[in-house]
Structure 1
């Protein structure tokens, strides 16, 4: 552990610049990150006093390929990004957890009582207790600590701020009490457990794996309880591209039914064939029974099933392109994924409110702004009213960002880099 006063002095003197550049990739964000770390340490000192501490980090994530494939036990390509949650932490000698997160009141938890309580669902307390309980149930040691956590992972932008939080708590427990031996996939599984059981949100495992493992990661959910995870080497900087995420500022209100209809309709098609999910069916299966499926379930369900079957293959094609170093083929597959999501999956706008099509407009302006090979764009994450994703040539980023910000407001477009680390201890 290092004294907070020494950490601040070293940060301001540039002693950790190489460490921060390795984590955050982009030299342009170093001044921001140094100021952010110093501010976080100063907040910790105001809360708990100058102290010997450790600093932990867990990134947000972006889905690259596999739009709405995970709930059908398909394949996903996702990446950690250089936005993250950071935690200033001190180990305590008892079982008490004291934690303050980004301006909220202090949470105090007795580590001897990690029981599930209904009244705590959908709270930060539930997530912390869920991670500790999940680790303990798997035979790992848990104990007390005090921490200040701050995050710049955008909430509501499909970048998984909750998974980053779960991952940073799991990483703290791994290093403070288990010598860093809890592997990244297990931390992800524990995070999902916390969110499903304690928080009460039935999320899949993609978000937690991408945040915990880090870098570009291929996840195969065929065995959903034991997903296959493969890191895929991809240095976006080497190809001269940046990842841009634009928040279209659309309202997510009243969209629950739209989101739920996607897996419901896909599973209805699977059920027609006596299966729980679409994995294992073929395009020919769908086409040879298309008339009966249309009559029984409607055209949209058929289109969404076809999207899944093509998208699942497309993930592997994206990976093959990256492994071959063929950036153009990879970007073509990203564009095809976006086109399929728009036309067949139909998660770009809600049919209940055709007057508001923020994502559609963002994609149209992106196509204009990126004409001539400057990049490609697609809907990001769940869709309907959220964000779009674009791979943009570095020399075109400023113009693209200006076009998006003009449309959706200042700082609507965030320029990101792929981060090679998942949950980690930064400084100790």
Structure 2
């Protein structure tokens, strides 16, 4: 403890995009996310009645005691309450009461980790009011616990880690087994490239059976292979050949080949060959679409349109079952890619996608 913050303050946390490496985190594998420029901002003021209030735009306000327990709060405020609960458990005493005013630039339901952005910003705000500090790697685990045990979403550690530990201008090479993060330089301007995040309005839902069933399939494959996690598989071809159930084999194949693609992307980025990452991104999307079966038609159509418009690579990003697309694009081709994905949506009778030009940005902190 370093003394409670009696004046309050403002903290913020970014959304995140995973350049490559989805559904590898809970398999103790590799991923390559980065923090978005778009952030969730929490302005916190202390209160003395042992309650937390949370307001955000037109959403119904949340109001609950600092002694909240899982099941007490539902809806969007459960993400806030879950953080208050898990921090109280960790600190051994309830967090201070607080009024939290929340504003977010992170698109909701697009696979850009709006919920984890919210949770990480709230966590830093409540810790700040409490005058407490928690190492970032430990805080990521606490946020994961809030998501798993209070909200009820069986998410891994990728999002929280990227949001809390990213550095400006760098990708974050995440090793989920060792919980290490290595910053990898990503100078898009020098390479004449940009990253587009394309939101085709395909609602992204993780608190349903899709994510959980994929995780269960990976755990089943590991048990059949006699390893703690799929990370420990050394001979990929032999392992896949030994799995007799086709669905289990395909789920495992995505994870095992995705780990290889992440390592190849890191090697390319370290050499400054960012353009070489494009084909690996596209191969990753095909793996998620065909082996992991967590894509949806509107996302596939968006990936195809981005590639036809001149993107070097494109893929769905995040947990899947909806969400956004990330595309690596030569800067001169950005107008053509924007036009292509917009035309594809119009042809399908859909709303025009939101296209964001993004770059790796700073992680969460006090503003």
> Smaller-chain TM-score range?
0.7 to 0.9
Report the alpha carbon displacement of residue 151 of structure 1 after superposing the two structures with TM.
1.0
Residue of structure 2 equivalent to 1:369: 309
Partners in 2 of 1:72 and 1:320 — Cα distance? 21
The total of aligned residue pairs comes to 353
Query: What SS does the corresponding residue of 1:118 show, helix, strand or coil?
Result: coil
Matches within 5 A, 1:209-288: 209-215=161-167, 216-223=171-178, 227-250=179-202, 256-284=208-236, 286-287=237-238
Q: Which residue of 2 aligns with 1:380?
A: 317
Equivalence for 1:14: none
1:24-53 Cα deviation digits (max 9, x unpaired)? xxxxxxxxxxxxxxxxxxxxxxxxxxxx86
Partner of 1:88: 43
For residues 335-346 of structure 1, the aligned pairs below 5 Å read: 335-346=282-293
Task: State whether structure 2 residue 135 is matched by structure 1 residue 183.
Answer: yes
Rg: which structure is higher? Answer: 1
User: Which of 128, 136, 150 does residue 103 from structure 2 map onto?
Assistant: 150
2:87 match? 135
Question: Are 1:168 and 2:121 an aligned pair?
Answer: yes
Does residue 391 in structure 1 map to residue 328 in structure 2? yes
- 1:37-116 matches, cutoff 5 A: 54-93=9-48, 95-111=50-66, 114-116=67-69
TM-score (norm 1): 0.74
State which drifts further: 70-79 or 101-110.
101-110
**CA 1:288–1:98: 2 relative to 1, 3 Å:** closer
- Give 1:310's aligned residue: 257
Q: Do the aligned partners of 2:205 and 2:321 also contact (CA within 8 Å) in 1? A: no
Distance 1:254 1:231 in 2: 28
Gaps of 5+ in 2: 1-6
Deviation at 1:200, TM superposition (A): 1.9
Structure number with higher helix proportion: 1
TM-superposition CA deviations, 1:152-186 (whole Å, max 9, x none)? 2111110111101111111112333326x333323
Distance in 1 between residues matched to 2:207 and 2:8, nearest whole Å: 43
1:282–1:309 Cα contact (<8 Å) kept: no
Distance in 1 of aligned mates of 2:113 and 2:277:
24
CA RMSD of aligned residues (A): 2.8
Q: TM-score, normalised by structure 2?
A: 0.85
Matches of 1:419 and 1:360, distance apart in 2: 24
Does residue 126 (structure 1) correspond to residue 78 (structure 2)? The answer is: yes
Structure 1 residue 395, shift from structure 2 partner: 2.4
Q: Distance in 2 between matches of 1:214 and 1:253?
A: 25
